[in-house]
Chains A and B, each alone.
Chain A
């Protein structure tokens, strides 16, 4: 089994979790108002190379993504340019309302250092065991590739699978016979 094969084998069961993102609760701290988070997350926007998520006051970004149902996270894709794409990315599962001050308060569920390949689109597999029961994901982008003032992210994609949770809308009363 080559590395490429195993990578694709893993991906067979994984879906793009874009459909399960609860957009009403999505937040991003330190984003520039002209280059906000949807540029990197939303379908269509993220494919457009001209539209990036950019940081504002400094190079760090804190992204909070809640989901509409419980998911298992398998891998992520973070795309950006060579110089100002993200480098160190910390993932926190199920931590709400984090701020830049408490990112160091608890250990991340996983830490990813992005290589140039990753920035071109190669998915990064995360520690699957830590992301079995994820209601919300916090992505902390700590720095960028060249240490520049502004970090630019072109695309963020999450891959995983859903846990079988009850669809409350589908609950119907059983007719008594």
Chain B
């Protein structure tokens, strides 16, 4: 998110015709430049990017720092290769272009693509580097293409003289399978000093580096930690949900057998079972969790009422009915009248309801639907509550 003005120095010398980077060095470079422009403008809308070419007849500024991405990208068209790269002049002219940027609050950065041999001496490069550091200009160097003796050392020396607190970086890209842009995406050139990078870079990384990536979800946590974290969390949630669904399915099978044998203590049991079977088709995330709670509670009354604690059976009854009520209200499905009365009697017990609500993981107690439900039904529940209390002493025995 740092506010930056960037000048990109492109190498369009004869050496760029080589095809060791697919499709050609120049094309690979052009792709990388487009990606960088996009990433810079996306990370901060006030960022500006400019382009200049270092070879050809001489150093030529194609675009002064501008935030208009279209203009910058269109400059890349129709570029011709030829001549020799003049690194020193290129960097100095880039510095001059940055000096005259409109927004003086922007940090200055130069990105150099060094693909051809460097004819300057190390000393000269170090002088240039010092001058850049003095004017607080950061420099990123992309070393690709020609690999002559001494080129990496010269570039490292240049970097060392510019570098101030790790704001400048160098990337060596060897020829081979990976496209230049793909390699660059995971480097600080794109991500900018370890800030976590822009969404643009992460999306590009995910799209392009699917097979190559070592990371779980095709997203480098270094580039986009938030995205990687979100993916991981949602994977875990999905896994938990699937386990719950599997568990519920298993329990439903056993419950269905028992449910038909056991004497129904109240109409609710049968009704709930029917309802759950009806409701099993449309599965909501909340419903799945409710089903699980339902199934668990169903197991206990299915065995023997006398064995259970009175409170427990009341609780489980309430549980089933409440679960039923919620799922029905959410689906707007058909309801039996008996269900309705049982539901309302259960829902009348407000304190109990809130405790159930908080224990069910899928239900948000502050959900307006749930609150409305609670508010609307207490009046109906009173006559039913007495009926329930009558049933309770029977359960004790």
Contacts and interface: CB of A to CB of B under 8 A. Distances in A.
B134 A57 contact: yes
Interface in A8-63: 29-30, 33, 56-58, 60
A100 B164 CA distance: 18
Given A56-B164, A99-B99, A101-B99, A29 B134 contact: yes
Interface in A59-107: 60, 96-97, 99-101
Contacts, number: 28
- The range of chain B's interface size is 10 to 19
Given A33-B164, A56-B164, A101-B99, A96 B134 contact: no
B134 A30 contact: yes
B135 A33 contact: no
A166 B133 CA distance: 40
Contact of A99 (B133, B135, B161): B135
Contacts of B136: 29-30
A97 B161 CA distance: 24
Contacts of A30: 133-136
Contacts of B161: 57
B130 interface: yes
A164 B164 CA distance: 41
B134 A60 contact: yes
A103 to B, nearest CB: 12
Interface residues of A, number: 12
B123 to A, nearest CB: 15
Interface in B131-145: 131, 133-136
Nearest to B133: A57
Contact residues of B: prevailing secondary structure: helix
Nearest to A61: B134
B130 A57 contact: yes
Contacts of B165: 33
A29 B104 contact: no
Nearest to B105: A97
Nearest to A32: B164
Contacts of B164: 33, 56
Nearest to B104: A97
A58 B130 contact: yes
A97 B130 CA distance: 20
A29 B99 CA distance: 14
Contacts of A99: 99, 135
A56 B104 contact: no
B169 to A, nearest CB: 17
A56 B133 contact: yes
Nearest to B108: A99
Nearest to B132: A57
Contacts of B99: 99, 101
Contact of B134 (A33, A56, A97): A56
A137 to B, nearest CB: 17
Contacts of A56: 133-134, 164
Residue from B131, B134, B161, B165 having most chain A Cβ neighbours under 10 A: B134
Contacts of A58: 130, 134
A100 B104 contact: no
A32 to B, nearest CB: 9
B196 to A, nearest CB: 23
Nearest to A97: B104
A99 B98 CA distance: 12
Contacts of A101: 99, 135
A54 to B, nearest CB: 13
A96 B130 contact: no
B135 A29 contact: yes
Interface string B137-166: 000000000000000000000000100110
Interface of B: 99, 104, 130-131, 133-136, 161, 164-165
Given A30-B133, A99-B99, 16 more contacts: A29-B134, A29-B136, A30-B135, A30-B136, A33-B164, A56-B133, A57-B130, A57-B131, A57-B133, A58-B130, A60-B134, A96-B104, A97-B104, A99-B135, A100-B134, A101-B99
21 contacts: A29-B134, A29-B135, A29-B136, A30-B134, A30-B136, A33-B164, A56-B134, A57-B130, A57-B131, A57-B133, A57-B161, A58-B130, A60-B134, A96-B104, A97-B104, A99-B99, A99-B135, A100-B134, A100-B135, A101-B99, A101-B135
In the complex, the 10 A-B pairs of residues with the closest C-beta atoms, listed nearest first:
A97-B104, A57-B130, A57-B134, A30-B134, A57-B133, A33-B165, A99-B135, A29-B136, A100-B134, A99-B99
